[in-house]
Amino acid sequence: MLSSNTYIISSALIRVGRYFNKSYKDLIRELVAELNKDLPIHDYIDYVVVSNVFSDSILEQLDISTMIIQELNLTPKPAVRVEAGESSGLMALKYAHSLIKSGMTSTVLVIGVEKLVEYPTTVVNKYMVRLLNSDVEGRYDIVTVNEAALLMKLYMKKHGHSREDLTIWPIKMHENAVNNPYAQLRNRITKEQVINSQIISDPLRLFDVHPLGDGASAIVLTNNKELMSKVGTGCVELIDVLHASAPPLTHRSDLLSLPASKYLFSKLGNYGVDLSDCVLEIHDSYTILAYLIVEELGLSDRGKAPYVVTDIKNINLSGGLKARGHPVGATGVYQVAEVHRLLTSGLGSIKLNNSWGLVHSMSSIDNNAAVALIRRCG
Amino acid sequence: MTSGKPYAGILGWGVYIPRYRIKAADIARMWGFDLTLVKSLNIEEKAVASVDEDATTMGWYASHQALIRCNVDVNDIGAVFVGTESKPFAVKPSATVIADALGIPHRRLTTDMEFACRAAGEALRISIALVSSGMVNKSLVIGSDTAQASPGDVLELTAGSGAAAYVVGPREDSVAYFEGSFSYVSDTPDFWRRDGVPYPSHGEIFTEEPAYFNHIINSVKGLMEELGLRPNDFDYAVFHQPNGRFPLRVGAELGLSREKILPGLVTPWIGNTYNASALIGLAKVLDEAKPGQRILLVTFGSGAGSDAFSILVSDKISESAGRALRVTDFLMNKIYIDYGTYSKLRKLLERL
Amino acid sequence: MKISPPRIWRERYNYYMLRITQCLDCGRASYPTSLTCPYCGSSNIRTVNSSGLGEVITYTISYFRIEGQEDEVPKVIALIKLREGAIVLGEVVDVGLSEIREGLEVEAVLRRLKIDGNSGLIWYGMKFRPIIGAGIPT
């Protein structure tokens, strides 16, 4: 029996990290083994949507979704890869959601996978440039971390913050990640460690920047109610996935605004989302972006986010991109899987009673942004 | 070779000298040269092009300055010549990049020329001919080099980077016009660089009497004979400057006093900028010259040849000097670097 | 081959010059050129060459390393406001790390943007350098 709603009925994650001894196929095999504990995916998956950003640059592999289907012996089931920069994970979710909402498909496996540690950092960095406009930033090899650094300076100047004032976010993220078994960096850090870490792009330091790690995560979406009782330990409803784009950084009237994210957050009221009863996962690829997102969400006045984030509960309980890690194409799927766990069987030892989950993702400095709205079932 | 009747002059001039400088003494210490040698070459420091600079980019800047100075319509420029011996491409002109980047129309003569350090000098003579004959209205002549020298070669003490650009056009519009010019060229193997080899080789002392001195003296004598001029008729003399010593020595042999040479002597502070060497010297003189003054410009290129020009400054000079950057602006605008940074900027270290 | 010949040829005027869009309706300038004004959407626009002069709004000194480009770090990256009003992202070269500052006056200069190994093309384009006399002690 098919529902008019779409549900996330199962999720699988591996800890983000350095899997030198495992290929992307190995990582996906592990995910599938976990999903198969309930019911073999062969028996119920209709479609596979893969989120991956760097398969052609790092893995030298196109049509990676078919390679995955073949690896899993899922032929003749169809598969497709979705890429929209750092928002790819949520875009894969949107693609899957659309397949189900349109009635074309009933059950979709969404896989996010990225292998970032196949090469030394300086090689991977070369590909990071490609997330920005090759005609604008690309000619100078400007990367998002540079733009984040520019915004951090503007923010500090405009609101009178010292560098030290801005250390609270990474400290909080590392604290949160201690409890997330899937986080890459599960160690507490101090203010001194943040401000004395190596400069990446002044004033941004190593501890303001997401780490590089491999990752793979999966969720199962369905409108088949019968499956919900057979598979997984609990379900949440995927209300919608919203997506928007923004003008390039240099065309924004307020450089410290995130126009695409702001636009999406303005739509939340239409869904009756109550942020105070919400688990939040936001795209904190760089410290400054976390503060700007918190402000765009209306959780803080402009320029005050560093003072209020300590008191914001249930934000990036995973540790965020900063500490859980940011295996680029897989990140959005991790965020959704984490929210699924938080609202059902628990993420590690953390379990919440919130009614809502909000996952936010964006590419570079809000070039595009996406929001997934999730609601506890029943 | 004589000049015929020139009817051309300089409308505008511009130079470019990179900001980075290395002390000649630092290079000497690196390679174990006695500092007395540095002193005898009269070289204090040399200009070093940055990692993203080459003859094309420096030539662009000098041209940009020259165009700002004379404010001519780029549509009137019918020829663009780049004299360089540090072409970024063995095959593919620099002049096309510079001309397109300056918005000069495509119906033009455009070429790179090579004759060691004097290709730009010959380009000047060609431009005088083109303008005098009416074949083109205005010609842009660029001398630009990131001078190469093998690390540890004595040449490294002096090989600098820089560019100069001149807009040559009708005499009546000029700030200084060519009274005449003369070239003297022979097959003299004093200095060379084989195809595909990064650094030049030279005959050391053989570069002196048979090459630099012989060719310069003959071109200057030829010019003076043709125009009926004597050394005393010149207010300034600017020679190609492989080091800070040769121009003074050749001047003395020609009966030109130090006072006439020193204003245009720039090599002690920027090094030998090859094709730009004499032309930056001339620019420095034009920066301060007064109407009616006569300037002797003498290029030299190994292989070997020399071009001598007699240039008479016109009334229009006074309004031109302040319109664009002066040579002294560049001489003062500097950042000192050590040998390590210099090797990084000039790609002397082989990286994998 | 890593630098595309048609690409750098086709776009050369956009790389060799700082061409901006001036909106004849709202009056704002933007970079790079586009078919409509990014601010008001008007197609009543014209493309002009910028003076290339501007000042640093803010900057970052980047130690971000990319394979093969070790000779370019540290790199100064800045948001620059051109005299015509357009805001551009660019690299500031020939500036000491203690000289770079907000408000520094810069000019656009032609430089090598990228080099394709030992045998490929050299891609030229505009970077920025402090204008001579920009208050930097010499």
pLDDT digits (tens, 9 = 90+) for A76-126: 999 999 999 999 999 999 999 999 999 999 999 999 999 999 999 999 999
Give the span between the Cα atoms of A47 and A80, in whole angstroms: 8
Instruction: Say what the pLDDT of residue A235 is.
Output: 94
Give the chains touching C; criterion: ≥3 Cβ pairs < 8 Å: A, B
Instruction: Say what the pLDDT of residue B5 is.
Output: 77
The CA distances from residue B38 to B19, B42, C19, in Å, are 22, 6, 47
Residues of C within an 8 Å Cβ radius of B:
12-13, 16-17, 49, 70-72, 93-94, 96, 109-113, 122, 124, 127, 129, 132-133, 136, 138
Instruction: Say what the pLDDT of residue C135 is.
Output: 53
The beta-carbon neighbor of C124 closest among B57, B344, B345 is B57
Give yes or no for residue B2 having a pLDDT over 60.
Answer: no
Structure-token pair, residue C72: 């370019």
Instruction: Say what the pLDDT of residue A281 is.
Output: 98
Task: Give a yes or no: residue A46 inside a domain.
Answer: yes
Number of domains in chain A: 1
Task: Give a yes or no: residue A194 inside a domain.
Answer: no
Average pLDDT, rounded, for chain A? 97
Tell me the average pLDDT across C97-124: 96
How many Å lie between the alpha carbon of C54 and the closest alpha carbon of chain A? 14
Instruction: Say what the pLDDT of residue A231 is.
Output: 85
Question: Regarding predicted confidence, which is higher, B319 or C55?
Answer: C55
The beta-carbon neighbor of C132 closest among B51, B57, B333 is B333
User: Sorting pLDDT into bands at 50, 70 and 90, what band is B1?
Assistant: low
Task: Give a yes or no: residue B166 inside a domain.
Answer: yes
Tell me the average pLDDT across A13-24: 98
| Percent with pLDDT over 90 in chain A | 96
Task: Give a yes or no: residue B3 inside a domain.
Answer: no
Contact with chain A for residue C65, Cβ under 8 A = yes
B170 and B194 together in one domain? no
B302 and B337 together in one domain? no
Quote the domain boundaries for residue A40: 2-120+212-230
Instruction: Say what the pLDDT of residue A230 is.
Output: 87
Known active-site residue B85: yes
What would the pLDDT profile of A233-280 be if each residue is shown by its tens digit? 789 999 999 999 999 999 999 999 999 999 999 999 999 999 999 999
Task: Give a yes or no: residue B2 inside a domain.
Answer: no
Task: Give a yes or no: residue A375 inside a domain.
Answer: no
What would the pLDDT profile of C32-64 be if each residue is shown by its tens digit? 998 999 999 999 999 999 999 999 999 999 999
What would the pLDDT profile of B183-199 be if each residue is shown by its tens digit? 999 999 999 999 999 99
Number of domains in chain B: 2
3-class secondary structure, C7 = helix
What would the pLDDT profile of A144-190 be if each residue is shown by its tens digit? 999 999 999 999 999 999 999 999 999 999 999 999 999 999 999 99
Helix locations, chain B, DSSP H? 24-31, 35-41, 55-70, 95-101, 119-133, 214-227, 246-254, 258-261, 267-270, 277-288, 317-321, 327-332, 339-345
User: Sorting pLDDT into bands at 50, 70 and 90, what band is A229?
Assistant: confident
**Which residues of chain C have a CB within 8 Å of the CB of A204?**
60
Task: Give a yes or no: residue A297 inside a domain.
Answer: no
B53 and B96 together in one domain? yes
How many Å lie between the alpha carbon of C81 and the closest alpha carbon of chain A? 10
Give yes or no for residue B151 having a pLDDT over 60.
Answer: yes
B147 and B226 together in one domain? no
Give yes or no for residue B351 having a pLDDT over 90.
Answer: no
Q: Which residue in B has a C-alpha nearest to residue C137's C-alpha?
A: B333
DSSP class of residue A84 equals B
Give yes or no for residue A369 having a pLDDT over 80.
Answer: yes
User: Sorting pLDDT into bands at 50, 70 and 90, what band is B6?
Assistant: confident
Quote the domain boundaries for residue B308: 178-317
Which residues lie across from B36 on neighbouring strands?
A: none
| Percent with pLDDT over 70 in chain A | 100
Question: pTM of the entire structure?
Answer: 0.96
Which residues lie across from C126 on neighbouring strands?
A: C110
- Yes or no: say if A282 and A90 are a contact pair by the CB < 8 Å rule: no
User: Sorting pLDDT into bands at 50, 70 and 90, what band is C138?
Assistant: very low
Which residues lie across from A50 on neighbouring strands?
A: A81, A111
Q: How much of chain B is helix, strand and coil, in % rounded to 5?
A: 40, 25, 35
Contact with chain A for residue C109, Cβ under 8 A = no
Contact with chain A for residue C19, Cβ under 8 A = no
Task: Give a yes or no: residue B351 inside a domain.
Answer: no
The beta-carbon neighbor of A250 closest among C58, C77, C87 is C87
Task: Give a yes or no: residue B131 inside a domain.
Answer: yes
3-class secondary structure, A347 = strand
Instruction: Say what the pLDDT of residue C137 is.
Output: 44
Query: Domains of chain C, with CATH numbers?
Result: 5-17+51-130 (2.40.50)
The catalytic position among B70, B156, B215, B240 is B240
Return the CATH number at B283. Answer: 3.40.47.10
